[in-house]
Structure 1
Amino acid sequence: MTTPVRDADLDEKPVPAGSVLAIRGGRPLRGRVDVKGAKNIATKAMVASLLGETTSILRDVPDISDVAVVKSLLEVHGVGVTEGDEPGSLVLDPSAVESAHYEEIDAHAGASRIPILFCGPLLHRLGQAFIPDLGGCRIGDRPIDFHLDALRKFGAVVEKQPSGIRLSAPNGLKGANIHLPYPSVGATEQVLLTAVRAKGTTELRNAAIEPEIMDLIAVLQKMGAIISYEPNRVILIEGVEHLRGYDHRNIFDRNEAASWACAALATDGEIFVGGAKQQEMLTFLNVFRKAGGWFDVQEDGILFRRDGELKPVIVETDVHPGFMTDWQQPLIVALTQANGRSIVHETVYENRFGFTAALVKMGADIVVHPHGLQDGPRRVPRRELEQAAVITGPTALHAADIVVPDLRGGYSHVIAALTAEGESRVSGVDILSRGYEKFLDKLSALGADFDVVR
């Protein structure tokens, strides 16, 4: 027999592994949630602490499982990680860094793809690094070839083994000229974390320029790195011999902020997202307004709600400053309630519309075109992997039993269940702990009606 877990049992804990959310939808979400630092900078700044010769302090660190994974991996390599002088801060002491056995790395990495970013710092500190088979959300091909090609250009020797990949730098790492075939965020982070202590100058072309990348550059500059960026996605890094620790406060999580904004849109609610900033969300806010949303930018956050009837939109995902791929999934839930036909062109990942099958099961009218759509003017050039989703609304959503496929898709499933009439059962929700801090507490604060069933 299943046992409901009451809200009091969930306070400040992650979503329990293997649990199912029994969600009774049909009521607007109203209230305030606060977002901390972005997981896409917090985890990378933690890795950067390996490069310093003194202790680093990182602030506004979200309490999510991805952070826990990086903490464990740092500790396996001898980095001391303790709580700082304020809630949500970490003190990272790299003075005792040492190599770790691949079995330890594999055990702590789990499904995370973070270990690949340890390579550059570990090659500088120890002359060697190991990464196990990499996991992550199953949203399409996410090859590490960009990372390995860049590391080879720095002078790393890459040896593929049955258990993973071993890297060494017998002659040290040297600056390189690198042109990424695609402005990959992960590969850009790899180059930055490797180039700052490589001998000579590195020129990186076609780099990602997301706000989280700029924040990582700020972290590295605080440590003593010399980094400049030019127009047309060019970043120049002059290698230095020594780096010190940093004291840094992460930028807010714009992905989580956009998720809650879409929840307000879908459920016809009103949500104030504390900590959200306008500048990093300009592109999202434009689409939000076009879709019939209303927002009020305040000093300590942004208030989101509908502004009358929802309207159809055409969206093309792209790298920054375009519309983020992580934003389209929760937006699609809201677009099922818009009056007309919306189109979302996914140009970043080739398999990110799998979550829409559950929405169709709940009554949504969504047709996925696996090879994209050829017609209509486009701002983003077509890519071979491109897909398109055509959403026709409004359609009443009804309850269903659904399984979470990935982080952002899983959040979208929960919001769809909160929009639908009746009781839905959503399983696999523990993956939400990877990117949403105190997710169940926030749902409760917004008036969601649910139980966690084990």
Structure 2
Amino acid sequence: MSGLLTVEGGVPLNGEITVRGAKNFVSKAMVASLLGEAASELANVPVIRDVDVVADLLRLHGVNVEHDRAAGVLRLDPSNVESAHVADIDAYAGSSRIPILFCGPLLHRLGEAFIPDLGGCRIGDRPIDYHLDILRQFGAVVEKKVQGIHIHAPNGLQGTKIELPYPSVGATEQTLLTAVRARGLTELRNAATEPEIMDLIAVLQKMGAIISVDTDRTIRIEGVEHLGGYRHTSLADRIEAGSWASAALATRGNVFVRGATQPEMTTFLNTFRKVGGAFDVQDDGIRFWHPGGDLHSIVLETDVHPGFMTDWQQPLVVALTQAKGLSIVHETVYENRFGFTDALRGMGATIQIYRECLGGLQCRFGQRNFNHSAVISGPTPLQAADIEVPDLRGGFSHLIAALAADGTSRVRGIDIINRGYESFMDKLEALGARVTLAQ
């Protein structure tokens, strides 16, 4: 999908859409299938670009991948795993950050791995140093070359003790995918415990792994020699659910998000209610709507789970431009996540960005010249504009702003949104949005 999206704003979103499996889990569960000696089956899989990229990378390594897109089911058979050609892998350079997570499984299966230049959204540094350091601690040898990074394990991988300086989701995933078949015990301290991490642990346990999680963010993994396949249904995408909820609030609409679940969204739901939004949790989803009247300004800080998720922040900021008073948002997870507000200011929003930590948390970005706090003054009517999508979550936020604005906006670069939002054009039309895509 590419081209120019024309959006006629000022129309409340009303209706029903469905969210399927979490983008931030499904791709990792696909990689986990490499560790098994039998086929795996994953259900509730969304049709998004990131899934296609990982499927292609798995095929390059000899995995037989069958994707029933209508049913949302992936079948993954790693019986014939083999080394892929560097040129083939390099074709995916810049399209995803997932290849770094192939390293542990490939080291176990083949004794070596290769990583091309990594892509992903440009929302901060997100270095792969955590990953490489972790692999070295397991006994891997890392060689940086012109085309990318070559990793091998001449003596196999050995369990180790790791303490992360920050509870990084990616570093935790790397440790899990590497430790489950390493010799001996691995202890990971200051681990991420997001719902997607816990679902990955559930998958690995189904395959035969032995993993325990303590309340102090310590994960212990007892390495095993063999793993089998798994059958698993992905948890719902709480990011997408929160995005549509924010869209309903910003446009004064009423949207039923089928598939959304309460346990993973508790923190979001509390914040949504504080802002003035209304919701109704049902057995098969959650309804979100604007109940009328003024929205309320709030003070919000993003944080690792169980805090307010950083990926919920950008869509909600659009709704906060319509709240009465001053809202303060302190971003503590990524240092460069307020770039999307430039377009909002161009549409009439009053948003000021600061280097200081505006909130109760003194985060790791304080005194480092990162613009990581925002003050939003509202309500301010948004006016239509020409918008260039900067990244996945910021792009969807710009789309929400265009839907809420007076007039007709033109949004370029919407193919980025296709990376993480399944059939978002169909969903917009199902909710009554007046949008036209020009190829």
Q: TM-score range by the shorter chain?
A: over 0.9
State the AA in 2 paired with 1:383. Answer: F
CA gap 1:85/1:31 in 2 versus in 1, 3 angstroms: closer
Note the C-alpha offset of 1:38.
0.1
Task: Determine whether 1:208 maps to 2:192.
Answer: yes
**Which secondary structure does the structure 2 equivalent of 1:339 belong to?**
strand
Task: Determine whether 1:273 maps to 2:266.
Answer: no
**Structure 1, unpaired ranges of 5+:** 1-15
Contact 1:30/1:270 (<8 A) preserved: yes
User: Residues of 2 paired with 1:380 and 1:277: CA distance?
Assistant: 31
**Which secondary structure does the structure 2 equivalent of 1:199 belong to?**
coil
The two structures have a TM-score, normalised by structure 2, of 0.97
Note the C-alpha offset of 1:311.
0.4
Task: Determine whether 1:143 maps to 2:127.
Answer: yes
Match of 1:368 among 345, 353, 375: 353
- The 5 A counterparts of 1:189-208 are 189-208=173-192
Q: Which residue of 1 aligns with 2:342?
A: 357
Note the C-alpha offset of 1:108.
3.1
Q: Which residue of 2 aligns with 1:172?
A: 156
Match of 1:243 among 216, 227, 232: 227
Q: Which residue of 1 aligns with 2:407?
A: 422
User: Residues of 2 paired with 1:434 and 1:106: CA distance?
Assistant: 19
User: Residues of 1 paired with 2:266 and 2:203: CA distance?
Assistant: 23
Can you list the C-alpha shifts for 1:162-218, whole angstroms capped at 9, x where unaligned?
Answer: 110000000000000000111000000000000000000000000000000000000
Identify the range of structure 1 (226-235 vs 100-109) with the bigger mean alpha-carbon deviation: 100-109
User: Residues of 1 paired with 2:200 and 2:55: CA distance?
Assistant: 18
Note the C-alpha offset of 1:419.
0.3
Note the C-alpha offset of 1:84.
5.0
Can you list the C-alpha shifts for 1:117-137, whole angstroms capped at 9, x where unaligned?
Answer: 000000000000000111110
Contact 2:357/2:363 (<8 A) preserved: no
Q: Which residue of 2 aligns with 1:411?
A: 396
Aligned identity (percent) is 67
Q: Which residue of 2 aligns with 1:47?
A: 31
**Which secondary structure does the structure 2 equivalent of 1:47 belong to?**
helix
Note the C-alpha offset of 1:83.
3.0
**Which secondary structure does the structure 1 equivalent of 2:188 belong to?**
strand
State the AA in 1 paired with 2:155. Answer: N
State the AA in 2 paired with 1:24. Answer: E
Q: Which residue of 1 aligns with 2:239?
A: 255
Can you list the C-alpha shifts for 1:304-334, whole angstroms capped at 9, x where unaligned?
Answer: 0123310001100010000011001000000
User: Residues of 2 paired with 1:237 and 1:23: CA distance?
Assistant: 50
Task: Determine whether 1:316 maps to 2:301.
Answer: yes
The two structures have a TM-score, normalised by structure 1, of 0.94
Task: Determine whether 1:449 maps to 2:434.
Answer: yes
Contact 1:72/1:108 (<8 A) preserved: no
Note the C-alpha offset of 1:372.
2.4
User: Residues of 2 paired with 1:111 and 1:353: CA distance?
Assistant: 22
Contact 2:45/2:72 (<8 A) preserved: yes
Q: Which residue of 1 aligns with 2:109?
A: 125
Q: Which residue of 2 aligns with 1:107?
A: 91
**Which secondary structure does the structure 1 equivalent of 2:427 belong to?**
helix
Note the C-alpha offset of 1:103.
1.2
Task: Determine whether 1:402 maps to 2:384.
Answer: no
Note the C-alpha offset of 1:110.
4.0
Match of 2:365 among 365, 370, 383: 383
**Which secondary structure does the structure 1 equivalent of 2:7 belong to?**
strand
Task: Determine whether 1:334 maps to 2:319.
Answer: yes
Note the C-alpha offset of 1:86.
7.3
User: Residues of 1 paired with 2:269 and 2:243: CA distance?
Assistant: 12
User: Residues of 1 paired with 2:342 and 2:23: CA distance?
Assistant: 27
**Structure 2, unpaired ranges of 5+:** none
Note the C-alpha offset of 1:383.
3.3
**Which secondary structure does the structure 1 equivalent of 2:296 belong to?**
coil
Task: Determine whether 1:220 maps to 2:204.
Answer: yes
Can you list the C-alpha shifts for 1:396-428, whole angstroms capped at 9, x where unaligned?
Answer: 101100100000000000110000011100001
User: Residues of 2 paired with 1:291 and 1:84: CA distance?
Assistant: 40
Q: Aligned pair count?
A: 435
Note the C-alpha offset of 1:380.
6.2
Contact 2:302/2:331 (<8 A) preserved: yes
**Which secondary structure does the structure 2 equivalent of 1:82 belong to?**
strand
User: Residues of 1 paired with 2:12 and 2:29: CA distance?
Assistant: 37
Contact 1:348/1:386 (<8 A) preserved: no
Contact 1:345/1:386 (<8 A) preserved: no
User: Residues of 2 paired with 1:380 and 1:121: CA distance?
Assistant: 37
CA gap 1:442/1:86 in 2 versus in 1, 3 angstroms: closer
Can you list the C-alpha shifts for 1:29-67, whole angstroms capped at 9, x where unaligned?
Answer: 000010000011100000000000000001011100000
Contact 1:32/1:271 (<8 A) preserved: yes
CA gap 1:86/1:339 in 2 versus in 1, 3 angstroms: closer
Contact 1:75/1:81 (<8 A) preserved: yes
**Which secondary structure does the structure 2 equivalent of 1:100 belong to?**
coil
User: Residues of 2 paired with 1:111 and 1:52: CA distance?
Assistant: 26
State the AA in 2 paired with 1:448. Answer: A
Match of 1:305 among 289, 297, 300: 289
Q: Which residue of 1 aligns with 2:421?
A: 436
Note the C-alpha offset of 1:285.
0.5
Match of 1:25 among 1, 5, 9: 9
User: Residues of 2 paired with 1:270 and 1:165: CA distance?
Assistant: 48
RMSD after superposition? 1.2
State the AA in 2 paired with 1:419. Answer: A
